[in-house]
Amino acid sequence: MQVTWFRNGRLLEENPDFRTFYDRKTGEVILHIVEVFPQDTGEYMAVAANKYGKAVTIGHLQVDGEFWGLLLSRYLKPSLNLMS
């Protein structure tokens, strides 16, 4: 399975500030934002795809001040079984 992350509709490349993880056993997909700032406010979307189809999950992040070590975690629970 391939998981692609987007922020405000634009591809979010993994870097030291934005780390992504995927647990094949649980299906959990994680975007770890090491430090968040007001400019990180926006819509975050994960798209998981494999030969059976794709699933999308969206989260909204609002940062009003500085906060250290946010973990944004979402489970993909698609109607298609993407774990097979």
DSSP class per residue in 9-73: TEE---BTTEEEEE-TTT-EEEEEEEEE-GGG-EEEEEEEEETTEEEEEEEEE--SS-EEEEEEE
Mean of the pLDDT values across residues 50-73?
75
Stated as kind and residue range, the H or E segment containing 5 is strand 2-7
Mean of the pLDDT values across residues 52-58?
92
Neighbours of 74 (CB within 10 A): 15
**Is the pLDDT score of 60 beyond 80?**
yes
Taking the C-alpha atoms of residue 53 and residue 68, their distance in angstroms, rounded to an integer, is 36
Mean of the pLDDT values across residues 22-51?
89
Length of the chain: 84
Mean residue pLDDT of the chain comes to: 80
**Is the pLDDT score of 79 beyond 60?**
no
Residue 63 has what pLDDT?
85
CATH class entry, domain 2-75: mainly beta
Residue 66 has what pLDDT?
54
